[in-house]
A and B are shown apart, each in its own frame.
Chain A
């Protein structure tokens, strides 16, 4: 219907209001695909999980009862849950700074190198492209106590190797190193693009102002200008570290003695090994709450210290 046709059809409605309503309708239509997808793929399932967490349903069971917050009570009383939560936190605390610093360092080195930048970028990005479960098997072999490359290399220097993945003290550390190895390439690519966006005139101004050493330049220009990228990398790395699963599942299954049990392996075991879907859903709700809270606080905290030029 054209505008004039509408005017004729509703002569009493003021033109401006009709125009506003029409615009609102078009706007609603335009955002509807995104809304439908978000509702179907994100909010719907999340709501379903919240509902499941209030029941005693078991996977494949014919019936279930609402049991209120009993699942959560059981969860918070479970020492294993706290162990997994602690391990996950430690994993995140190791992986995030490791990934960000290594990514930044490699990005700075690549940008400073005179040639072969594309080659170095591709090489360091390869782990990001690889499938974690397959790479985990490779790492499993490398970390093997007798035939593994790592212990053999250490042996060359006369250092006695450890049974990395079977030792309570090193299992989580080894997994964290694998996590850093897998993720730093992504951070590196983001930092490289951030470095390219730093205006040359700022470096020139710094040189005229007396800051021409590599560290002075880094502190005065490069790091502040990388603020927005760093914020993005930290949030992304943290949320990815929180969902660590495949490497743990393939290499240690959470062992030895739950030394590398993390939230998602716990979730998987409860939901799919023991089929306690309601309990698993409660764990998922806690996990989601932590990730959302973490992301929001990080964004708010970091935003204050980030300067968009």
Chain B
């Protein structure tokens, strides 16, 4: 059980500033995901939290206790790595038992050959065996305990890595892109298993990923990072509905949010939607915040370029007249009136769900939102 406080964390590698003063409070028992494109500093932040790297400035505290300068093993954390990082010469049992053995056995008891002769080892080993077997049963890897990591599939290795992390009952779980090396189907399955594990253990999870769908489906809160800064920290549905930065809006959600420059309306001889403030330079809308109709005066006009039928949803790609190359994506229900590729259409935007952004990419409130 632990809260984590990061305060003004900075990190340089040579001339490059990787982290530009990151501050973040993580609640006890929370599943917090750091999401961002590669190179945004999210893994570095996690490694600083783990004690694998030291920050140039700022403070890290776990459960109110400053851990600056302490080693990873003194922080009561466990970590799961993208490559699983299992020890290839040890069997699954020994891999999972290792963190317990290094902590509970004395130096003499850990010696090869002589260790088993040292008094007290038998009792400790029996305790370790029971705990390893319990962890293995929880992750359904009991039948693999005697195998070497090289004989396991990717998903099995990932479970063993989770077992090695949880066997010690750490206060904090750190996960660095743990699902990136798995195939798509297994990734979705492991996503559910990891969230179930989080609910069962009830401890703090800090999870790093570049995959927004992992962030959205697994987390209590998501911290969006870019270029060494936190853009927004919020629960997934708030990030989706109420992004405070254009980059957040573009990163979260699939299909991607549609963004049009405000100048587009002027170019088409149309007024900006009445709710958008004059200061806005970009107007964004989600695929479900728009509708299609037959061409009509006073509306955005375009042509259907592609149709994606997902069964539950239809996504229509509409190339706007004289608009950006990137087509706007509109979600329709399969029961809605059908359009065919090549049809001329008009695009109706739901004023209440428009998002406006100023020249710096920051969110400007629309009049409807101000009124609400």
Q: Which A residues have a C-beta under 8 Å from some C-beta of B?
A: 199, 201-202, 204-205, 207-212, 216, 220-221, 224-225, 227, 307-309
Q: Please tell me which stretch of B96-104, B117-125, B229-237, B291-299 contacts chain A, meaning at least 4 of its Cβ atoms lie within 8 angstroms of it.
A: B96-104
Shortest Cβ gap from A140 to chain B (Å): 43
List the 10 closest pairs (A to B, CB-CB), nearest first: A210-B102, A205-B85, A224-B89, A309-B88, A210-B73, A201-B85, A307-B89, A209-B99, A307-B88, A201-B81
The answer to whether A207 and B71 have CB atoms under 8 Å apart is yes
Which residue from A208, A211, A220 sits with its C-beta under 8 Å from B77?
A208
Shortest Cβ gap from A35 to chain B (Å): 34
Q: Which B residues have a C-beta under 8 Å from some C-beta of A?
A: 47, 50-52, 71-73, 77-79, 81-83, 85-89, 98-99, 102-103, 148-150, 164
Further 8 A-B residue pairs, CB within 8 A, beyond A202-B85, A308-B150, A309-B88: A204-B81, A205-B87, A207-B73, A208-B79, A224-B87, A225-B88, A307-B148, A309-B150
CB-CB under 8 A from B78, the residues of chain A are: 208
A216 to B105, CA, bound (A): 13
CB-CB under 8 A from B87, the residues of chain A are: 202, 205, 220-221, 224
Shortest Cβ gap from A155 to chain B (Å): 42
A220 to B99, CA, bound (A): 12
A202 to B81, CA, bound (A): 9
A212 to B51, CA, bound (A): 12
Which residue from A210, A224, A225 sits with its C-beta under 8 Å from B99?
A210
Shortest Cβ gap from A194 to chain B (Å): 14
Which residue from B73, B85, B86, B148 sits with its C-beta under 8 Å from A212?
B73
CB-CB under 8 A from B98, the residues of chain A are: 209, 211, 220
17 residue pairs A–B, Cβ–Cβ below 8 Å: A201-B81, A201-B85, A204-B47, A204-B72, A204-B79, A204-B85, A208-B52, A208-B72, A208-B73, A208-B78, A211-B98, A212-B71, A212-B72, A224-B87, A224-B88, A227-B89, A308-B150
The answer to whether A211 and B89 have CB atoms under 8 Å apart is no
CB-CB under 8 A from A309, the residues of chain B are: 88, 149-150
Chain B residue nearest in CB terms to A212: B71
The answer to whether A201 and B82 have CB atoms under 8 Å apart is yes
Chain A residue nearest in CB terms to B83: A201
CB-CB under 8 A from B72, the residues of chain A are: 204, 207-208, 212
In this complex, which of B50, B78, B81, B86 has the most chain A Cβ atoms within 10 angstroms of its Cβ? B81
Which residue from A201, A202, A307 sits with its C-beta under 8 Å from B150?
A307
A308 to B151, CA, bound (A): 11
Shortest Cβ gap from B301 to chain A (Å): 53
Known contacts A225-B88, A227-B89, A309-B88; decide if A208 and B83 are in contact (CB<8 Å).
no
CB-CB under 8 A from A227, the residues of chain B are: 89
CB-CB under 8 A from A199, the residues of chain B are: 83, 85
A210 to B149, CA, bound (A): 20
Chain B residue nearest in CB terms to A209: B99
CB-CB under 8 A from B150, the residues of chain A are: 307-309
CB-CB under 8 A from A205, the residues of chain B are: 79, 81, 85-87
A204 to B73, CA, bound (A): 11
A204 to B176, CA, bound (A): 12
Shortest Cβ gap from A214 to chain B (Å): 13
Chain B residue nearest in CB terms to A216: B102
A210 to B51, CA, bound (A): 12
CB-CB under 8 A from B88, the residues of chain A are: 224-225, 307-309
A271 to B239, CA, bound (A): 86
A307 to B88, CA, bound (A): 6
A216 to B164, CA, bound (A): 18
A224 to B87, CA, bound (A): 9
